[in-house]
Amino acid sequence: MYPDYPDPMPAFQYLGAAHGRNLMESALAEPQQTFFGRYLYPTVFDKGAALFRSLTNNHCLQDGNKRTALTATFVFLAANGYLLYCGEAVAYTLKIASSQPELPWKDVSRWLRRNSISMQRLLRISQAESALRLGLGVWSDQRPEELVGIADVLAGLRSKESR
């Protein structure tokens, strides 16, 4: 995932022992923050953005803060039913941009939303494609040209998800 580093992830070492651990705990708590009983980060993408930004900005580790932030965000979204998909260049750009304190978390949230797909939706598309591959055996009352139309609809769904 990180081709420009000799190791996939550096050794996990807090920066300044207890201080680094406190910074990590603070970063992990950021997505759960509330104000008068309302979440400051209401959507899963907002929470993911808050997690990503707090892990990159708190510098709680000696090395690998941005890589850890990207990995943690990927795992957070997966645990909440979304698959984050982006190329290495895009991930690298996000990590570099995140080191700029003026980058708003809302921009990161929008980026996460655009580059994620619901696992339920992905499963439905996959199931429909599998059924389509079975062809006339599944839809015996469908003519071949109608199956092509169904394939076009699935391709349209996939292109909408990639935006």
User: Are residues 31 and 51 in contact, defined by beta-carbon separation less than 8 angstroms?
Assistant: yes
Q: What average pLDDT does this structure show over 28-43? A: 94
Instruction: Note the pLDDT tens digit of each residue in 113-147.
Output: 988 888 888 888 777 776 666 554 444 444 444 44
C-alpha span between 12 and 101 (Å, rounded): 24
In the CATH hierarchy, which fold is given to the domain comprising 18-114? Four Helix Bundle (Hemerythrin (Met), subunit A) (1.20.120)
CA dist 113 and 97 (Å) reads 17
Domain boundaries, the chain: 18-114, 120-161
**pLDDT for res 20:** 80
Q: CA 158, CA 135: separation in Å to the nearest integer?
A: 19
pLDDT per residue as tens digits for the range 59-84: 888 777 887 888 899 899 999 999 88
Question: Contact at 8 Å (CB) between 93 and 38?
Answer: no
> Which of 20, 122, 21, 31 shows the shortest CA–CA distance to 76?
31
Round to whole Å and give the CA distance between 88 and 80.
23
Q: Is the pLDDT of residue 100 over 80?
A: no
Which residue bears the tokens 């199956």? 147
For residue 106, give the 3-state DSSP assignment.
Answer: helix
Task: Please give the DSSP secondary-structure letter assigned to residue 118.
Answer: E
pLDDT band at residue 96, thresholds of 50, 70 and 90? low
- For tokens 């304190």, what's the residue? 101
Percentage of the chain surpassing pLDDT 70? 60
SS3 113: helix
Crossing angle (nearest 10°) for helices 105-114 and 44-58: 130
